[in-house]
């Protein structure tokens, strides 16, 4: 009995370490997203390049955590809540890695925009970016605190991101139709908007995994309720 208790204690220690590594990965992706947003809004090519070169660290850590999830399942054969936690972690790290990819895409477009120093940025673009950043922070808070109510709020907020995505792109397309000289710069802005919308989707997916982890309910694509 004592040996089994010691085994369970080891497992839960390793599970806590696994969650800690997820948060380490999340911090890398959050930093990349923050820097990419600053890069395009302040026309800062150095920050953009930092995001691009830093993506390897995000990818490598995601692979390492995925391997740790597989090891824990194989070694300890967890069930019920413990198994759900590992499965949720494995899904969440994939979403975080994709957020890192979107940050790289935004950074690359920031470098493109740097070539068009006179290009006027859409007035709602920064507001959309800030809302997405906030969604990411709150989805991670929901994970840390096992807060289902907060997770559901993140899901609801994605509707606003989708609405901004549609309205900003519509404005940019109309501008491009009447001002041919701004087409390249506005195309870069559209790419940034689309990537911010994807980050909103990824944070929503993180929130859905929190609900699954805590309540055991699969709410993918319907966690707003």
Neighbour count for residue 95 (Cβ, 10 Å):
23
Whether residue 29 is contained in a domain is answered as: yes
Residue-wise burial string across 155-188, b where 16 or more C-beta atoms lie within 10 A, e elsewhere: bebbeebeebbeebbeebeebbeeeeebeebbeb
CA distance 190 to 173: 9
The number of folded domains in the chain is 1
CA distance 203 to 137: 9
- Mean pLDDT, the chain, rounded, equals 94
Convert the pLDDT of each residue in 152-185 to its tens digit: 999 999 999 999 999 999 999 999 998 888 898 8
3-state secondary structure of 219: coil
Asked whether residue 34 carries a pLDDT value surpassing 50, the answer given is: yes
Whether residue 34 is contained in a domain is answered as: yes
3-state secondary structure of 47: helix
**What residue has token string 């597989």?**
70
Q: What is the domain range of residue 117?
A: 2-215
Convert the pLDDT of each residue in 105-160 to its tens digit: 999 999 999 888 778 899 999 999 999 999 999 999 999 999 999 999 999 999 99
CATH of the domain at 204: 1.20.58.220
pLDDT of 222: 60
Whether residue 224 is contained in a domain is answered as: no
Convert the pLDDT of each residue in 48-96 to its tens digit: 999 999 999 999 999 999 999 999 999 999 999 999 999 999 999 999 9
Tokens encoding 51: 């995001």
What is the reported pTM? 0.94
Whether residue 159 is contained in a domain is answered as: yes
pLDDT of 225: 46
From the list 44, 28, 55, 39, the residue with the least C-alpha distance to 125 is: 39
Whether residue 107 is contained in a domain is answered as: yes
Longest pairwise C-alpha distance within the chain: 77
């Amino acid at each position: 009995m004592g040996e089994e208790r010691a085994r369970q204690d080891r497992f839960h220690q390793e599970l806590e370490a696994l969650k800690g590594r997820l948060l380490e990965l999340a911090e890398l992706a959050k930093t990349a997203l923050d820097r990419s947003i600053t890069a395009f809004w302040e026309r800062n090519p150095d920050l953009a390049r930092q995001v691009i070169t830093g993506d390897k660290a995000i990818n490598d850590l995601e692979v390492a955590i995925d391997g740790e999830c597989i090891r824990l399942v194989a070694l300890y054969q967890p069930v019920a809540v413990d198994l759900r936690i590992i499965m949720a972690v494995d899904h969440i790290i994939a979403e975080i890695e994709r957020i890192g990819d979107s940050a790289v895409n935004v950074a690359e477009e920031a470098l493109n925009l740097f070539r068009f120093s006179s290009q006027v940025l859409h007035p709602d673009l920064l507001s959309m970016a800030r809302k997405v950043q906030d969604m990411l922070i709150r989805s991670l808070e929901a994970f840390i605190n096992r807060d289902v109510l907060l997770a559901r709020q993140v899901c609801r907020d994605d509707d606003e991101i989708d609405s901004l995505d549609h309205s900003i792109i519509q404005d940019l397309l109309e501008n491009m139709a009447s001002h041919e000289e701004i087409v390249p710069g506005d195309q870069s802005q559209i790419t940034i908007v689309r990537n911010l919308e994807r980050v909103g989707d990824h944070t929503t997916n993180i929130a859905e995994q929190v609900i699954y982890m805590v309540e055991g309910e699969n709410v993918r694509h319907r966690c707003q309720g």
